[in-house]
């Protein structure tokens, strides 16, 4: 389709629309349905109807609305946005931004995506030296304190916001920023939530505002011990397996050293709790330098995890120093 209708009812050619800097909505002159402007690299610009997403085919209205909101936000920050730009033979960028000849890819994810696929797609951009950020839809909103690996995979880090995830909700035309995300042993995850209009989000980004963090208290050691006893009593498979591992080393899970309990907030980058990692390391009888070997990391391609991974080992050393009476020759 070469011609579409603007929100003012005027007709506009695709090549004219492609030259405009501002983000706009376009409609089919015949059926009045929303259409999308495609600015192909090798093809002439054109408009196309938006198909409902069915079993992974086509594009849903929610996905299109998210891309348009991202483009509107980017335009207010001085970026030029292009939709659906091919990257290599197998990838297509949702929103390709350029400013001062510098590219930035924004992916808007509102459908299911496995951590492996997220990792693969992100690395695909990174290998081409294309910086990429992800914005998530309603499916990935934080609704309880036990986040899935899919939700945790989108975590990024910014000095002013700590560990964070950005979401856009088309139903409400609202941005949601989950910031200063932390993990807590036996208590899931905690974070701060900030809901923003596009204008407010622009002001936040321009001002580079440092957002306040809430210093959540972790569970005390007695509370953690009560939780372990309760879960063992309920035959929780996870803790039964950990107890069996202790039995295999002639130990009991309820009798592990005090330094195995972590009451501090933890970076949200580890697959295991600090308690599980410390107990596993204690049973392994390995030097402390190998603690990270029993502390697997989540798949989080947006993070430079090496900057944060040492936290667990440093915290363990501090716990061992605090409990010198129980320290063995490995420290």
Cα distance between residue 81 and residue 97, in whole Å = 5
Helix spans in the chain (H): 14-19, 61-76, 115-127, 149-152, 198-207, 221-233, 237-248, 274-284, 310-322
What pLDDT is recorded for position 41?
A: 54
The count of other CB atoms within 10 Å of the CB of residue 186 is: 19
Check: CB of residue 62 under 8 Å from CB of residue 73.
no
Check: CB of residue 163 under 8 Å from CB of residue 177.
no
Residue 287 has which token pair?
């030097």
Residues of the chain with CATH 3.40.1350: 50-207
What pLDDT is recorded for position 22?
A: 64
Q: Among all chains, which residue has been given the structure tokens 């000849």? A: 101
Q: Among all chains, which residue has been given the structure tokens 């492609």? A: 18
Q: Tell which CATH classification among 2.40.50, 3.40.1350, 3.40.50, 1.20.120 matches the domain 50-207.
A: 3.40.1350
**3-state DSSP call for residue 46?**
strand
What pLDDT is recorded for position 42?
A: 55
What pLDDT is recorded for position 6?
A: 80
Q: Give, in order, the Cα–Cα distances in Å from 233 to each of 93, 239, 251, 283, 287.
A: 50, 10, 18, 23, 33
What pLDDT is recorded for position 251?
A: 94
Cα distance between residue 268 and residue 311, in whole Å = 11
The pTM of the full predicted model, rounded to 2 decimals, is 0.80
Low-confidence ranges of the chain (pLDDT < 50): 52-57, 329-331
């Amino acid at each position: 389709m070469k011609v579409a209708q603007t929100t003012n009812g005027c007709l506009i050619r695709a090549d004219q629309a492609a030259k405009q800097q501002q983000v706009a909505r376009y409609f089919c002159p015949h059926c009045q349905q929303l259409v999308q402007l495609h600015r192909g690299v090798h093809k002439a610009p054109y408009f196309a109807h938006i198909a409902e997403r069915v079993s992974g085919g086509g594009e849903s209205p929610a996905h299109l609305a998210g891309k348009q909101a991202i483009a509107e936000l980017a335009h207010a920050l001085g970026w030029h946005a292009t939709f659906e730009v091919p990257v290599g033979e197998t990838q297509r960028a949702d929103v390709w931004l350029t400013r001062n000849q510098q590219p930035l890819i924004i992916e808007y994810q509102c459908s299911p995506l496995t951590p492996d696929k997220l990792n693969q797609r992100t690395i695909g951009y990174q290998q081409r030296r294309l910086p990429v950020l992800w914005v998530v839809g309603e499916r990935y909103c934080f609704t309880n304190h036990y986040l899935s690996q899919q939700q945790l995979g989108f975590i990024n880090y910014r000095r002013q916001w700590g560990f964070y995830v950005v979401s856009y909700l088309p139903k409400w035309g609202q941005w949601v920023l989950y910031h200063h995300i932390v993990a807590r042993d036996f208590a899931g995850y905690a974070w701060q939530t900030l809901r923003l209009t596009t204008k407010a989000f622009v002001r936040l980004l321009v001002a580079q505002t440092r957002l306040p963090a809430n210093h959540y208290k972790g569970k005390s050691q007695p509370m953690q011990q009560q939780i372990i006893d309760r879960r063992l009593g309920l035959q929780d498979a996870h803790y039964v397996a950990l107890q069996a591992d202790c039995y295999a080393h002639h130990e009991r899970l309820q009798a592990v050293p005090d330094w195995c309990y972590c009451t501090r907030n933890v970076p949200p980058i580890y697959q295991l709790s600090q308690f599980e990692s410390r107990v596993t390391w204690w049973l392994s009888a390995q030097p402390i330098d190998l603690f990270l070997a029993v502390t697997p990391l989540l798949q989080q391609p947006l993070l430079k995890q090496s900057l944060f991974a040492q936290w667990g080992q440093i915290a363990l050393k501090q716990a061992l120093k605090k409990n010198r009476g129980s320290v063995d020759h490995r420290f």
